[in-house]
Amino acid sequence: MDFQVVVLAGGASKNLAPLVSEEVPKALLPVANRPVLSYILELLESSNLKDLIIVVEGSDAANRVGGWVSGAYADRLHVEVAEVPEDSGTAGALRAVAHHLTASDILVVSGDLVTDVPPGVVAATHRRHGAVVTALLCDTPISGFSEGGSLGAKDKAKKPARYNIVGLDPTRQFLLLIASGAEVEKDTRVQKSILCSVGQMEIRADLMDAHMYALKRIVLQEVLDQKGTFRSIRQDVLPYLVKTQLRSDVAANESSKVEGLSSTFTSKTNLTWLSQHREIAPSAFHNGHESDANGSLSTTCTHKCCAYIASRSKYCARLNSIQAFIDINRDVVGEANHLSGYSFSAQNNVVHPSAELGSKTTVGPQCMLAEGSRLGDKCSVKRSVIGRHCRIGSNVKIVNSVVMNHVTIEDGCLVQGSIICSNVQLQERCVLKDCQVGAGYVVTSGSEHKSESLAKK
Amino acid sequence: MAQKKVARSASSDDPEELARVPLQAVLLADSFATKFRPITLERPKVLLPLVNVPMIEYTLAWLESVGVEEVFVFCCAHSSQVKDYLNKSQWTKHPSTFSVTPIESHDAISAGDALRVIYNRGVVRGDFILVSGDTVSNMSLTQALQEHKERRKKDPLVVMTMVIKHAKPSSTTFLQTRLGNDEIIMGIHPETKELLYYEDKADHSQRVLSLDRTLLTENPALCLHIDKQDCFIDICSPEVLSLFTDNFDYQHLRRHFVKGLLVDDIMGYKIFTYETHSSYAARVDNFRSYDTISKDIIQRWTYPFVPDVQYFGFGSQIRFERQGIYRAPDVILSSSAQIGAFSFVGHGTTIGDHSIISKSVIGQRCIIGRNVVIESSYIWDNVTIEDGCKLTHALVCDGVHLRAGVVLEPGAILSFKVEVGQKLVIPAYSKVSVLPQPCKQDSDEELEYADTTSGVVESPSITSVLNAQNQDLMSDTVDATDSDPTEVGISGVGYIWSVCEGEHDEEWRFSIAPIPKEKLEKFSRGSPDDYDVINQDECGIPPYGELPPDSDGTEFDGGDGEDYHDSADFEKEVEATFLRALTGVNEENVILEINSLRLSCNMSHSDCAGALFHAIMKSALAIPYSNNRELLENTVKEIKTWKNLLKNYLRSQDEEIEILLKFEEICLETTKEFRPLFSSILSQLYDMDILTEDAILSWAKEKEGADESDKIFVKQAEPFIMWLKEASEEEDEDEDEDEDE
């Protein structure tokens, strides 16, 4: 496939403090004891997309990601790691690597995506329709624990968060409207011309833009060049393309600029686009348009924006918040454990052979215990992930939590719904509920914390 | 409220009792609209023939077929005609399982009023079907009724189920449906089919549709449809009536009631939709839908409600022949005449030699001469068409007489008993009636009907006179300018109604005539502007017609008024009013009119003064003059004449300054003739006590800091101002002397 892949790995995202640090950029945050970036890379590899550019914000982060990638994927993928300044935004990141792009279509993927939707289907949809942009949409994940616990019940009562408002044609193939970010909470503005041309628009608030886009390179470069103020693909580029689809500047410019490469594009696309619409929404384009297809429509260019909606059975989530971090870790060792790449035991958990468990210590289902970790007596681990070489004392209870590497948890601690970063020390009888503990932090003995973010100054 | 609760508990708790209630229907035999004028001035819309059968027959027959047992026919406009018709019809003759009861009211002006009347009668006991008397349908309501009942069992707040239908593709986009309705945008829940959003009065200039955010917070998904047609068939719960009674400002069924319920989240009433797929349902709302539905009937989409099926004592047999031709057996057809496909010819009609009829409906006892061409037209009963006439896309009512060689251009409507003189060309989209056009009022049909005798037009656009008496020319300043007036309508009877300017652009939309090519092109090209540019001022302004002289300014109200009633328009209005004062209207009336204009346009006294002054100056200029001196004399005379009128608005110094500024503006921009006379007229204005010295001085003072270009007139008037200044110093001593000088 003539697709080039750009993975936007981000940098030290502020949303994820205190989990991320200079040592651990967002892309390397562990999900079931693997960097989150590895999920998307392996997915791309399985779709035979091996030519990638990973864009990282910040030089430290870039070095670390580069180091990890070259170590882990040296022989498997052809990866180039590009570094962009921090806060350059997704569009800025693409702008920085634009001169590296040569393929006719570009697949832009967010590095924090954990999914089992093959990128190939998005690419195929993109190609099939000759679209300018194709976005992967998935169901909005329901955050919080889906089972058990008072905490879970509370979260379930809440309505699922809304990330995007999406307008689709009746066949759900074309993207007619997208609102994201702050726009979601405002009144939705629908362009009448688009509504008129399809007749019926389904507006959904329960879909999420998964940040996997297939884009036509020429159009992408065009837009990035012309719209210097565009910072984000999600908030600027995609809405722009969607909104101008019936009156395309990009298609017009493109045809004049690149005649050889996409001679089929402008002239034919208009017609196929129309005919496709007519096929699917027969009432949408009538004789009036048909006769115009030869005449007046050649002056107004159209381009297509498509959507691929992942089926409900597919897993699709983005690690872009602390809650998402817990959720994804839970899911990857739980209901979506095929993603983790580990083989689960009969008890539906993964306990590394080198891990040591004390007497009367139980590790429940949907748990993961990585190599070299040691648990004392009478411990209980439920629905949690414990990293490498952790030292855990006796009578420790760990529920719904993520414990990273080299963590020391002393006797009698209770850890619930929390994230414990690497090299943290929890002294005796600590109680942590819904907390995040930054790397290297020491929680003093006997202290109790609830819904706090603890990090070294 | 108490009644409502009783009704609700009865319907939800006791399904057996519900079952015992016979299915009732409310038929509104009044459209509360004026789209069928001038025809509806003489006959109610529901009795107008649709393929030779009054519309109400279709509705009643359909209601009977869907199992309705009691129909309440609400009649208002021409109620006696409707009642007479019903009394004579077979519906009331055999009151077996289907009873038709007329309910009469004379003061209802809207569907809301009608439903309030029906509520007060207390005749509706359970769920009922609400239709208007112009509905043509063959759909089965069984499933819709069942769905409605089931929903109501679960949720007593469900008050209505609206029948919708996929809009048939039209020749252009949805901006123009084939029924000539406004586009309707509906937001429907994809699974429950609950109606969440309804917009029928869509502003065409508005390129972006704004959905309230709460719509999407409450519903994860919403289907926006522009491809659905509202059939105006509603299955209502009894609460609908009480809701109308509670909210006495609900007038229009859709605009007020449906939208009102949708935005009202306190009561939480819900409206659902039911989509019918294969069956026919449409409403004759305007001339275009009249045309479309007639064709659908002829093409048998409405089966069994087609002319050759004897579903309602329909005279004698109509034969259905090949190519969709319906012909009564006693038609006298010349052997050389041709009847083309999809036509209907009624009883006793005679068609002469070499006449060609295609896609048309011809009623009973018509006499059609030789070499007549009738294409896509509707000829009602007892029409005489003499030789050589040509009719395309026209509607001709009962008793019309077209003399030889008349040409009806597309979209022409000839109301009852109109006579058109020889070789007259009736221009496209014109409406001709023997009744003069009533003055424009935005009330309902019925009221205007009552008014027609008193409210006879004073409007300048109608200058034609009743031709029957004086054999005068039937001409019209607006519509017939292109046809030679000397040829128009020898021995004709009727007035050509003027199209009020606001509707002129829209006329093609509702007309029988097909949409003109250029409009189609305009639509298909339709310029979807940049997404964030809503160019409201470009095309959102309806062409603004001259205010009829006797209007009380009601047209100015409404929230969207502000945009275009700017001072220029206001000025024009004032000028028009003033011009009529010139023609001899009482000065007091003029003051009254200007005052009401001022209030309705939200203008100040100074605006009035300025505008009036402008008008006076203009009229002065209109008097012929040979040199500046004469012009000055004329002006002074003119100002003197209207001094009192003008003074009426000069409440304070501000108004006087406004006049000065206006005067400057006139001299600078519009009429340069006054330029050299500025200072002389100024001093005259002062002499006539129109302007006080304080005003003039403060005007001069104001101008001191202005640009040089702004100061031409101040400079010109400098000697006068200087004199004034000096005078004011002496003023203390002797005031009266100043004036004598």
Instruction: Choose from A138, A163, A165, A195 for mutation: most chain B CBs within 10 A.
Output: A195
Are the Cβ atoms of A185 and B227 closer than 8 angstroms? no
CB B304 within 8 A of CB B136: no
Residue A422 has pLDDT above 80, yes or no: yes
For residue range A97-140, list pLDDT tens digits in order. 888 888 888 999 988 888 888 888 888 888 888 888 899 998 87
pLDDT at B546: 34
E strands in A128-283: 133-139, 164-168, 175-180, 188-191, 200-204, 207-216
Confidence (pLDDT) at A281: 39
Using a CB–CB cutoff of 8 Å, tell me whether B521 touches chain A.
Answer: yes
Structure-token match 């030699």, residue found: B353
What confidence tier does B8 reach under pLDDT thresholds 50, 70, 90? very low
A142 touches chain B (CB under 8 A): no
Helices marked H in A30-88: 36-46, 59-73
Smallest CA–CA distance from B518 into chain A, residue:
A288
Give the pLDDT of residue A224.
Answer: 86
Res. A278: pLDDT tops 70 = no
Q: Which residue of A has its CA nearest to B186?
A: A200
Dihedral sign of CA atoms A280, A282, A284, A287 in order? positive
State the Cα–Cα distance between residues B538 and B549, nearest whole angstrom: 28
Residues B129 and B63: beta-carbon distance below 8 Å? yes
Interface A-B: count of C-beta contacts within 8 A: 125
Cross-chain residue pair B170–A187, CB shorter than 8 Å: no
- Residue B515 at interface with chain A, using a CB cutoff of 8 Å: no
Question: Model-level pTM?
Answer: 0.67
Q: A-chain residues within 8 Å CB-CB of B206? A: 192
The CA distance from B501 to B483, in Å, is: 20
Rounded to 5°, angle at Cα B448 from B236 and B476? 130
Residue A195 near chain B (CB below 8 Å): yes
Asked whether B16 and B119 are in contact (CB, 8 A), the reply is no
Distance from the Cα of A199 to chain B's closest Cα (Å) equals 5
Q: What is the DSSP letter of B304?
A: T
- Show the tokens assigned to B327: 């012909």
Mutation target among B223, B224, B229, B520 for the A interface, most CBs of A within 10 A: B224
Per-residue confidence band for B641, with pLDDT thresholds at 50, 70 and 90? confident
Question: A280 CB near a chain B CB, below 8 Å?
Answer: no
Q: What local confidence, expressed as pLDDT, does residue A161 receive?
A: 63
Res B443: pLDDT: 40
Asked whether the CA dihedral B341, B344, B348, B350 is positive or negative, the reply is: negative
ipTM summary value: 0.74
What chain B residue is nearest to A300 in terms of C-alpha separation? B525
In eight-state DSSP terms, residue A452 is -
- DSSP letter for each residue of B666-720: IIIII-GGGGGGHHHHHHHHHHTTSS-HHHHHHHHHHHHTS-TGGGHHHHHTHHH
Distance from CA of B171 to the nearest CA of A (A): 6
Residue B506: the pLDDT is: 62
Between CA B436 and CA B464 the distance in angstroms is: 9
CATH number of B317-429+460-497: 2.160.10.10
Residue B554 DSSP label: G
A297 token code pair: 């429509």
Residue B9's contacts (CB-CB under 8 Å, 6 or more residues apart) are: none
Nearest Cα residue in chain A from B226: A199
d(CA B215, CA A31): 37
Nearest to A283 among B167, B187, B217 (CB): B167
DSSP 8-state code for residue A158: S
φ, ψ (nearest 5 deg) of residue A418? -120, 165
**Does A208 reach chain B within 8 Å, measured CB to CB?**
no
pLDDT given at position B490 = 53
Domain B566-740 sits in CATH 1.25.40.180:
yes
Please indicate whether residue B643 or residue B58 has the higher confidence score (pLDDT).
Answer: B58
Bridge partners of residue B208, in order along the sequence: A191
SS3 A269: helix
Stronger pLDDT, B161 or B316, i.e. the higher one: B161
Coil, helix or strand at residue B85: helix
Indicate the range of A59-68, B98-107, B716-725 predicted with least confidence.
B716-725
Select the residue of B213, B520, B525 nearest A188 (Cβ to Cβ). B213
Cis peptide before A18 (omega within 30 of 0): yes
Q: Which chain A residue's Cα is nearest to B521?
A: A288
DSSP string, B574-605: HHHHHHHHHTT--HHHHHHHHHHHHHHHT--H
Q: Give the C-alpha separation, B91 to A285, whole Å.
A: 44
Query: C-alpha distances in angstroms, A327 versus A355, A383, B61, B131, B169?
Result: 24, 11, 62, 54, 48
In this prediction, residue B542 carries a pLDDT of 32
pLDDT single digits (tens) B301-351: 888 888 877 655 555 578 888 888 888 888 888 889 999 889 999 888 999
Q: Where are the domains of chain A?
A: 4-316, 343-454
Backbone Cα Rg of chain A:
24
Inter-chain CB proximity B526 and A196 less than 8 Å: yes
| Cα dihedral sign, B411-B412-B417-B420 | negative
- Residue A12's pLDDT band (boundaries 50, 70, 90)? confident
Chain B: give the shortest CA distance to residue A149, in Å: 27
Q: Which of B199, B208, B532 to mutate to test binding with chain A, by most A CBs within 10 Å of its CB?
A: B208
Strands (E), B513-566: none
pLDDT of residue B383: 92
For chain A, the average pLDDT equals: 78
DSSP letters spanning B235-280? EE-THHHHHHHH-TT--SIIIIIIHHHHH-TTT--EEEEEEE-SS-
Give, as one character, the DSSP assignment of residue A235: I
Q: Is B239's pLDDT higher than 60?
A: yes
Chain B, nearest residue to A278 by Cα: B169
CA distance B731 to B709: 32
CB contact under 8 A, B226 and A195: yes
C-beta atoms of B210 and A281 within 8 A: no
More reliable by pLDDT, B258 or B645: B258
Q: What is the DSSP pairing of strand B325-327 with strand B319-321?
A: antiparallel
**Tokens at A115, concatenated:** 């999914």
A289 vs B210, B216, B524: nearest CB: B524
Quote the tokens at residue B485.
Answer: 């007036």
Whether the CB-CB separation of B240 and B127 falls below 8 Å is answered with no
The top-scoring range by mean pLDDT among B144-148, B169-173, B211-215, B731-735 is: B144-148
User: Does the CB of B528 have a partner CB in chain A at under 8 Å?
Assistant: yes
**C-alpha angle A230-A232-A238 in degrees, rounded to nearest 5:** 85
Which ranges in B124-253 belong to alpha helices (H)?
Answer: 142-154, 213-218, 239-246
For residues B704 and B698, the answer to whether their CB atoms sit within 8 Å is: no
Distance CA B97, CA B580 (A): 63
The interaxial angle of helices B2-13 and B142-154, nearest 10 deg, is: 110
Angle at B731 between CA B728 and CA B735, to 5 degrees: 130
Pairing of strands A30-31, A34-35: antiparallel
Look at residue B731 in the predicted model and tell me its pLDDT: 55
Question: Per the CATH hierarchy, to which homologous superfamily does domain A343-454 belong?
Answer: Hexapeptide repeat proteins (2.160.10.10)
DSSP letters for B422-445: TT-EEPTT-EEESSPPBPP-SS-H
B304 preceded by cis ω (within 30°)?
yes
Cβ-count burial B486-519 (b if 16+ within 10 Å, e if not): eebbbebbbbbbbbbeeeeeebbbbbbbbbeeee
What CATH number should be reported for the domain whose range is A4-316?
3.90.550.10
**Which residue in A85, A17, A94 sits closest to A54, CA to CA?**
A94
> pLDDT of B515-535, one tens digit each?
666 666 665 554 444 333 333
